[in-house]
Amino acid sequence: MSVTETAAALEEERPRGSTLPRYLALKGGGALVSLAMVVVLGFFSFRVLPGDPAINMTRGRRVSAEEVERLRAEMGLDDPLPLQFLSYLGDLFRGDLGVSYVYRREVTELIAERLAPTLLLTGTAALISVVLGLWLGQKSAWRRGSLFDKTQTGLALVFWSVPTFWLGLILLLVFAGGLGWFPTGGMVTPGTDPTGLARVLDVAHHLVLPVLTMVAVVYAQYLMVMRASVLEEMTSDYLTTARAKGLREDLVRTRHAVPNALLPTVTLIFLTIGGLVGGAVTVETVFSWPGLGYLTFQGLSAPDLPLLQGTFVVFSSIVIVMNFVAELVYRVLDPRLKAS
C-alpha cells in the first residue's frame, strides 16, 4: 500500500542526531513554506484559473454590463494581478476571507461556526480507528497466516476499496431508513434545542452513523501499517533475547515488539489526517452534518468561490500544522533522534 511506502521513505530521510533547535527550524521552515504554497495556490486557483470572478459570481442571473463593471471595481479585479495578490495577502493576514456569495456573510464567521462539529466528528472517528486499527494490526501480525489474520486483512482490503459516501448511504438505508434506530442527518433533532445532558445524548445519537462510516473506511490503513510494522520487528534479535529471558509470548509482544513497531506508525497516523479531511467532506455531505465538509459541499453548487477558497485554506492549514506536530511528537518518542 502506498501509505506504507510513504512512511518508509520518510523514515529513511529523517535527519538523525541533529540538535533540537536545528530540527525545529528545519521542520518549522518546511511547514511555513507549505503554508505559503497553500496561500499562493488559493490565490492562483480562485483568482486566475476561473477566468472572471465577476462573471462567475453572477452566473445564472440576469445582470447588466454596468452591474458587472461595478462588481469588478468593487472586487479590485481591474487592478494588476500583483496588486490583487498583495491585497489578498493583506486580507488573509487580517483573517478576512471575503464574503460568501450564497450566505452573504463573512467566510471567516461561517468557518468558525462549522469548525467545532467537524473536529468532533473527525476527532472521534480518528481516535476509534487508530485504537482499533493498531490493536487488530499487531494481533494479525503476531498470528501471521492464521484465520484471524486472513479475515482481518481481507476485511481491511474490502473496506479500503469502499467509497466512504457509499458506506454512509448503506448505513442510512439500513439503520436510519429501514430500522429507524438513528436519525437520518443533522447534529441535533430539528425543532428542538436541548441543553445539558439531553443535548450531549442527542448529539451522540446523531454522531453514531457518521463516525461508524469514517471508522470503517479509515481503520483499515492503520491495521495494514501496524501489521507490516510488527512483522518488520518479528525477526529482531531482541525478541529472541526477551524469549530467552523466559518472558511469556504475550509480554514479548506487548512490552517489546509493539512499542518499537508503534514508532513508524505514529508519523503515518498524522500523515493520514489529509485523508480524514477528505472523508469528512463526503461523510458530512451524506449525513448533512453541519461541519466544514458540508459547508464545502454547499459551496460547490453555486459555485461559491470565496467560501471554497476559505475552506481550502483552512483545511490545508489544519493538515499542515498537524503534520508539523507529528514531526515533533516523533522526535519526542524516538530517543535515538534526541541530541546526543
Partner 1 sequence: MGSAPRSGRAAVAAQRRARAAEVWREFAATRSGLVGLVLLAAVFAVALLAPVLVPLETLDVTRLTAASNEPPSAAHLLGTDPSGRDVLGMLVWGARVSLLVGFAATAVSMVIGTLVGMAAGHFTGLTQAVIMRVVDFFLVVPSLVLAIVLSSVLSRGLWTIVIAIGVTSWASTARVVRSQTLSIEARPYIERARALGGGDGHILGRHVLPAVLPLVLANTTLTVGSAVIAESTLSFLGLGDPTQFSWGSMLKSALDTGAATAGFWWFVLPPGLAIVVVVLCFTLVGRALESVLNPTLRGR
Binding site for partner 1 (CB under 8 A): 1-3, 5-6, 8-9, 12, 30, 33-34, 37-38, 41, 45-46, 49-50, 144, 157-158, 160-167, 169-170, 172-173, 176-178, 184, 228, 231, 271, 274-275, 277-278, 281-282, 285-286, 296-297, 300-301, 303, 305, 308-309, 311-312, 315-316, 319-320, 323
Query: Smallest distance, Å, CB 317 to partner 1?
Result: 10
Q: Which of 228, 227, 207, 336 is nearest to 283 (CA)?
A: 207
Query: Smallest distance, Å, CB 246 to partner 1?
Result: 28
Query: Smallest distance, Å, CB 146 to partner 1?
Result: 14
Query: Smallest distance, Å, CB 178 to partner 1?
Result: 6
Angle at 321 between CA 32 and CA 84, to 5 degrees: 50
Query: Smallest distance, Å, CB 340 to partner 1?
Result: 26
Amino acid identity at 310: G
Please, which residue, 184 or 247, has the CB nearer to partner 1? 184
Query: Smallest distance, Å, CB 258 to partner 1?
Result: 18
| Residue 10 to residue 330: CA distance in whole angstroms | 12
Residue partners of 130: CB distance under 8 A and separation at least 6: 219, 222, 269
Please, which residue, 214 or 305, has the CB nearer to partner 1? 305
CA 89 to chain CA centroid, Å, is 25
* Angle formed by the axes of helices 107-142 and 258-271, nearest 10°: 150
Please, which residue, 247 or 322, has the CB nearer to partner 1? 322
| Residue 41 to residue 24: CA distance in whole angstroms | 25
Please, which residue, 30 or 188, has the CB nearer to partner 1? 30
Please, which residue, 160 or 247, has the CB nearer to partner 1? 160
Question: CB count, 10 Å around CB of 279?
Answer: 25
Please, which residue, 64 or 161, has the CB nearer to partner 1? 161
Query: Smallest distance, Å, CB 36 to partner 1?
Result: 10
Please, which residue, 37 or 198, has the CB nearer to partner 1? 37
Whether residue 111 contacts residue 97, with contact meaning beta carbons closer than 8 Å, is answered with yes
Residue partners of 270: CB distance under 8 A and separation at least 6: 322, 323, 325, 326, 329
- Number of Cα atoms under 13 Å in the Cβ half of residue 144: 13
β-bridge mates for residue 177, sequence order: none
Query: Smallest distance, Å, CB 121 to partner 1?
Result: 15
| Residue 212 to residue 218: CA distance in whole angstroms | 10
| Residue 114 to residue 112: CA distance in whole angstroms | 6
Please, which residue, 247 or 312, has the CB nearer to partner 1? 312
Backbone angles phi, psi at 184, to 5 degrees: -85, -15
